[in-house]
Amino acid sequence: MTRMLVLGIETSCDETGVALYDSERGLLADTLYSQVDVHSQYGGVVPELASRDHVRKTLPLVRETLQAAGCNKSDIDGLAYTAGPGLIGALLVGSSIGRSLAFALGVPAIGVHHMEGHLLAPMLEPHPPAFPFVALLVSGGHTMLVEVTAIGEYRLLGETLDDAAGEAFDKTAKLLGLPYPGGPELAALAESGDSSRYHFPRPMTDRPGLDFSFSGLKTHTRNLWLEKQDEPAARQDIAAGFQLAVVETLAIKCRRAMKQTRCMQLVMAGGVCANQLLRRKMQQTAGKEGWKVSFPRPEYCTDNGAMIAFAGCQRLLASEHNSLEIEAYPRWSLETVESLVRISHQSDAASTHLTEDHG
C-alpha cells in the first residue's frame, strides 16, 4: 500500500477544521476554529457570516497545521475536503480552497461526505471498531441509524422524520432561555435536575420501525415549560427530563437495530454523542445486551478536519479522486457514496489492463 500524507479541510457549517493524516503514522496534527462567538449574538448560525469566517480562517489554519506537524506544502500527497452535506456557501469555501491547493501542488483531491467523516471518526482511536457494525449518527442536522459492512457500503436503517436530536436540544435550550450553543448548555443544566419530576414521551417507540421524530417532544417540552416555568427548579428538571427522553429514545432504537441486523458492534458518532448521559446509557445497554459500543473522543464528535483527512485518505489510497470541478452538495444521501471495495477493484482492474497492454 502506498503511503500518503493527506490534508483534510472541514467547512460544512460553523467550525473550520484542518488536519494532516499520514496513512502509516496516523494523525499528525489538527486545528479547529469555532465560530461560536460569531453566531452567539444571533442565537444560531447565520450562513453568510459562516462562509465569510471560513474564508478568513481556512488558509491560516492550513499553515498552522503544517507547522504543528513539522511538514511543508510539498510533503502533501493529497487533499480531502468536505463536499457535503452542509451550508452551500460554507461548503464552497472549503471545496474551492481544497481543490485549488491540490491543483497548485499537483496532487489528487477528493470530496468527502460529511457524515461518512463522522461515521469513520472512531477509526482514529487506538482500538478502532471492526466491520460490520451499526452506526448511530447524531448531530445538529442528522439523526440516523446505518448498517455498515465496509467503507462506502452503507444501508440506511432509519432516520429522523423532522428535527434531528441535536436540533431538538438546541431549540429546547433556546426555549428555556439558555445561551447558544444550546445543546451543551442544556446538558450541563440537566446535571442538577430531577429527570423523573415531569413526564416526557419517548417518541415513536410504541410502534415498530427505526425512524425517529423529535418535533413532538419539543412541542411537549414547550407546553410544559409554559405551564410550569414559575415552579421552583422547573428549568433544570425540564432540561433533565427532556435529555433523558432523547437518550432513552435513541437507546431503544439502537437496541432494535442491533437485533434486526444481528450485529455485535455499535458505533456512535456526531456532535450529540459527546453527551455524557448518552454515552453512559449506551454503555449500560451494550453491557446488558452483550455487544460492544465505540465512539470517538469528544473533540472528534463535533465537526473536525481529522475525520475528513482520515476518510479522504482511505479513498485516495484506493485511487479515487475528483476532477477539477468545484463540488458542493448541500443535500447528499449517505447511501449514494461509492463503496471503497468497489473502487479498489476497479483500480486494480485498470492497472492490470494497462500492464497487459503495455507489458
Cell of 285: 445497554
Cell of 256: 432494535
Q: For residues 223 and 142, what is the distance between their CA atoms, to the nearest angstrom?
A: 25
Banded model confidence at residue 359, pLDDT cuts 50, 70, 90: very low
Q: Is residue 19 scored above 50 in pLDDT?
A: yes
From 279, 295, 311, the end of a domain falls on 295
Task: Specify whether 61 is located in the same domain as 194.
Answer: no
| Burial class of 288 by CB neighbour count within 10 A (0 to 12, 13 to 18, 19+) | exposed
Residue 192 is assigned to a structural domain of this protein: yes
Task: Specify whether 56 is located in the same domain as 155.
Answer: no
Domain that holds residue 53: 5-120+301-358
pLDDT value at residue 2? 81
pLDDT value at residue 345? 57
Residue 110 is assigned to a structural domain of this protein: yes
pLDDT value at residue 357? 45
Q: Is residue 210 scored above 50 in pLDDT?
A: yes
Task: Specify whether 141 is located in the same domain as 287.
Answer: yes
Q: For residues 16 and 82, what is the distance between their CA atoms, to the nearest angstrom?
A: 11
pLDDT value at residue 354? 37
Q: For residues 99 and 102, what is the distance between their CA atoms, to the nearest angstrom?
A: 5
Residue 125 is assigned to a structural domain of this protein: no
Count structural domains, the chain.
2
Q: Is residue 352 scored above 70 in pLDDT?
A: no
Q: For residues 14 and 34, what is the distance between their CA atoms, to the nearest angstrom?
A: 7
Q: For residues 236 and 238, what is the distance between their CA atoms, to the nearest angstrom?
A: 5
Pairing of strands 143-150, 133-138: antiparallel
pLDDT digits (tens, 9 = 90+) for 315-346: 999 999 999 889 899 999 999 998 886 776 56
pLDDT digits (tens, 9 = 90+) for 116-160: 999 999 999 999 999 999 999 999 899 999 999 999 999 999 999
| Averaged pLDDT for residues 73-92 | 98
**Phi, psi at 295, each rounded to 5°:** -150, 155
Give exposure, 106-125, as e/b (b: 16+ Cβ within 10 Å).
Answer: ebbbbbbbbbbbbbbbbbbe
Task: Specify whether 291 is located in the same domain as 150.
Answer: yes
pLDDT value at residue 46? 97
Task: Specify whether 113 is located in the same domain as 136.
Answer: no
pLDDT value at residue 347? 54
pLDDT value at residue 353? 41
Task: Give yes or no for a contact between 101 and 130, defined as CB atoms under 8 angstroms apart.
Answer: no
Task: Specify whether 162 is located in the same domain as 291.
Answer: yes
Q: Is residue 162 scored above 50 in pLDDT?
A: yes
pLDDT value at residue 343? 75
| Averaged pLDDT for residues 265-280 | 96
Task: Specify whether 334 is located in the same domain as 317.
Answer: yes
The CATH number of the domain where 352 resides is what?
Answer: 3.30.420.40
Task: Give yes or no for a contact between 294 and 121, defined as CB atoms under 8 angstroms apart.
Answer: no
From 247, 263, 295, the end of a domain falls on 295
pLDDT digits (tens, 9 = 90+) for 235-249: 999 999 999 999 999
Task: Specify whether 209 is located in the same domain as 336.
Answer: no
pLDDT value at residue 340? 82
pLDDT digits (tens, 9 = 90+) for 283-300: 999 999 999 999 999 999
* Mean pLDDT score across all residues of the chain: 94
Task: Specify whether 178 is located in the same domain as 257.
Answer: yes
Cell of 160: 429522523
pLDDT digits (tens, 9 = 90+) for 29-50: 999 999 999 999 998 999 999 9
Q: For residues 152 and 335, what is the distance between their CA atoms, to the nearest angstrom?
A: 8
Task: Specify whether 71 is located in the same domain as 147.
Answer: no
Banded model confidence at residue 358, pLDDT cuts 50, 70, 90: very low
Task: Specify whether 212 is located in the same domain as 226.
Answer: yes
Q: Report whether the peptide linkage leading into residue 181 is cis, meaning its omega lies within 30 degrees of zero.
A: yes
Q: For residues 134 and 154, what is the distance between their CA atoms, to the nearest angstrom?
A: 10
